[in-house]
Amino acid sequence: MENIINLKNLRENIQEYAQEVKRGHSFIVFKKSKPLFKISPINESPWEEVIDFTKIKKGGVDLKELLKRI
């Protein structure tokens, strides 16, 4: 279920809403009785893994060593 909140309430209580989103809750934010946007948790990482250097060497690979090989 999504909760409806107004923009002023969001601005005044941003930390509390951030914690609720972290727990999996979603919110629709309204201003003057009109929906503006939706806040919801990210279900997957927004980052694409290109290469995990910890799989090559425990603790990662030294940047200087890597740049020498490029």
Q: Is the pLDDT of residue 57 over 80?
A: no
CA–CA distance from 9 to each of 15, 22, 33, 34 (Å)?
11, 18, 13, 15
3-state secondary structure the chain: CEEEEEHHHHHHCHHHHHHHHHCCCEEEEEECCEEEEEECCCCCCCCCCCCCHHHCCCCCCCHHHHHHHC
Architecture of domain 1-41: 3-Layer(aba) Sandwich (3.40)
Q: What is the pTM of this model?
A: 0.60
Domain range list for the chain:
1-41
Q: What is the mean pLDDT of residues 21-42?
A: 94
Give the pLDDT of residue 28: 97
Share of the chain above pLDDT 70, in %: 97
Sequence-distant (6+) residues with CB within 8 A of 30 are 4, 5, 6, 7, 36
